[in-house]
Amino acid sequence: MAMRFIHTADVHLSADAPHRLEVFREICALAADCDALVVAGDLFHSGKVLRDRKLLADLREALAGTAGKPVLLIAGNHEHLRSVGAAATPPCAADPFAGLELGGHVFACGAGPADREVGGVRFRLVPFQRQGLPAQGLRPAAAEDLPRVAVLHGTAIDRPGLTMAALDSGDDEDSGDCLLRDADLAPFRYAALGHIHRRDQWSPGPGCVASYPGSPDMVSSDETEERTVNRVTLDGTGAATVERVPLRAAHRALPLHILLLPGLARQAEERARLRVAQAPPGQVPVLRITGFAPRAEAAGLCASLESAFRSRAPRPIVKNRVRDSGELEVGAGSLVGELFAKLGALEERDPVLAGRAAHLALLAMSGENIPAELAAEDADAPAD
């Protein structure tokens, strides 16, 4: 008989991001049609959130949407933080979930490891730990007479692209040091992982599937993928298959590159407003203001945009990446000066083409990488 469950992670609930609770409600509704919901760490954005009575009350209401199906929850690295940001520090409490009441169907494992059996499947729950490899915690406490699923929060260091992230152990908020090896995951039929916000899936060994579902809602401005959760099915033999389920309520980032040149803040703001107005529903515009201009001009443009979009939902993010033109030689006869002069003339005739050409040229001159989105736009621009 098949067993199905929803696997998610890195929800990062907080009072400052109420939309994430809406997305989590959608996840709980999906779990109501399955046998369980598994949250592989970082349900909360910090340990401080665990003391927010209003949010916890709303969370209990959301969890009731699973129709009583078991919810298995482990602590991630963020539950071990008093706060996030520059002052992020781990608290003294060994179990961040101590005293937490989320409903009788919810098992919150903060200081495991622990075993839970659901629907003929044994789940091995190993909360985040700052002790390197959690191999000891993955050893089953009971005889292996059932298909086994591991639930972990950490970095899969044998996975291409993640090894370097694991080496950044000095940042408690972003990386931590709970390292996962394929050899430790291989004995399981499925490894439900959390900590990496982009989705990934691979086979650590024969008969095993390991997966990061990615954050179900946008947490940082580089999360541009469609947001999903995993619907995992274990068939009668214990073999796992994974279906990516898109989340209708979720937001994802939409990078928008806006060029600023000296004296052209008005044109840059008009382009930014137009690009934001054209953004598809469910995508959060991330305005990356780049180029060369006086520092005050760049700051004024960003402040004007932030004010203009304050009441828009979802609210765009404005990032000032403009280089101070006071540091450049822009006078007559200089390379930058000649470029500005030519672009100024082109701006009057075709401001869109001028912006694309200037952006590509200035990025190339400054040694920066050309964003794929901008390069694609330029490729589609008419030759002139």
Q: How far apart are CA 106 and CA 72, in angstroms?
A: 6
pLDDT of 197 higher than 90: yes
pLDDT in tens, 28-53: 999 999 999 999 999 999 999 999 99
pLDDT in tens, 353-382: 666 666 666 666 655 555 555 555 444 433
Question: Is the domain of 271 the same as that of 186?
Answer: no
**Sorting pLDDT into bands at 50, 70 and 90, what band is 304?**
very high
Q: Which residue has the higher pLDDT, 142 or 41?
A: 41
Question: Is the domain of 222 the same as that of 293?
Answer: no
Q: Check residue 382 and give its pLDDT.
A: 36
Question: Is the domain of 213 the same as that of 165?
Answer: yes
Query: Residue 25: in which H helix or E strand, if any?
Result: helix 18-31
Of the residues 199, 225, 246, the one at which a domain ends: 246
Q: How far apart are CA 146 and CA 168, in angstroms?
A: 37
- CATH number at 109 reads 3.60.21.10
Q: How far apart are CA 259 and CA 377, in angstroms?
A: 13
CA atoms within 13 A on the CB side of 114: 14
- The answer to whether the beta carbons of residues 328 and 292 sit under 8 Å apart is yes
Give one DSSP letter per residue of 39-85, joined into a string. E-S-SBSSGGGGG-HHHHHHHHHHHGGGTT--EEEE--TGGG-SS-S
Question: Is the domain of 262 the same as that of 194?
Answer: no
Question: Is the domain of 263 the same as that of 218?
Answer: no
Dihedrals φ, ψ of 229, to 5°?
-125, 165
**Of the candidates 69, 60, 59, the residue with the CA atom closest to the CA atom of residue 11:** 59
Question: Is the domain of 25 the same as that of 118?
Answer: yes
Least confident stretch, 91-95, 331-335, 349-353: 331-335
Question: Is the domain of 125 the same as that of 52?
Answer: yes
Question: Is the domain of 235 the same as that of 296?
Answer: no
Question: Is the domain of 228 the same as that of 323?
Answer: no
pLDDT in tens, 112-126: 789 999 999 999 999
- How much of the chain exceeds pLDDT 70, in percent? 74
Q: How far is CA 255 from the centre of its chain?
A: 14
Residue 189: domain span: 3-246
**Sorting pLDDT into bands at 50, 70 and 90, what band is 174?**
very low
Q: How far apart are CA 5 and CA 241, in angstroms?
A: 11
Rounded to a whole number of angstroms, the CA Rg of the chain reads 24
pLDDT of 383 higher than 50: no
Q: Check residue 261 and give its pLDDT.
A: 78
Mean pLDDT of 341-357: 67
pLDDT of 212 higher than 90: yes
Q: Check residue 294 and give its pLDDT.
A: 87
Mean pLDDT of 97-118: 92
Q: Check residue 190 and give its pLDDT.
A: 97
Dihedrals φ, ψ of 366, to 5°?
-85, -5
Question: Is the domain of 38 the same as that of 159?
Answer: yes
Q: Check residue 314 and give its pLDDT.
A: 92
Question: Is the domain of 331 the same as that of 219?
Answer: no
The domain tally of the chain equals 2
Question: Is the domain of 265 the same as that of 238?
Answer: no
Of the residues 246, 276, 306, the one at which a domain ends: 246
Q: Which residues is 155 bridged to in the sheet?
A: 179
**Sorting pLDDT into bands at 50, 70 and 90, what band is 56?**
very high
Length of the chain: 384
Q: Check residue 172 and give its pLDDT.
A: 47
What b/e string do you get for 200-218 counting C-beta neighbours within 10 Å, with b at 16 or more? bebebeebbbbbbbbbbbb
Q: Which residues are within 8 A (CB) of 63 and not within 5 positions of it... i.e. 6 or more apart? A: 28, 71, 102, 103, 105, 106
- Model pTM score: 0.83
Mean pLDDT of 250-276: 91
Q: Which residues are within 8 A (CB) of 319 and not within 5 positions of it... i.e. 6 or more apart? A: 221, 286, 287, 288, 289
Helix segments in the chain, DSSP class H: 18-31, 53-63, 163-167, 182-185, 265-277, 295-308, 335-349, 351-366, 372-380
Of the residues 200, 225, 246, the one at which a domain ends: 246
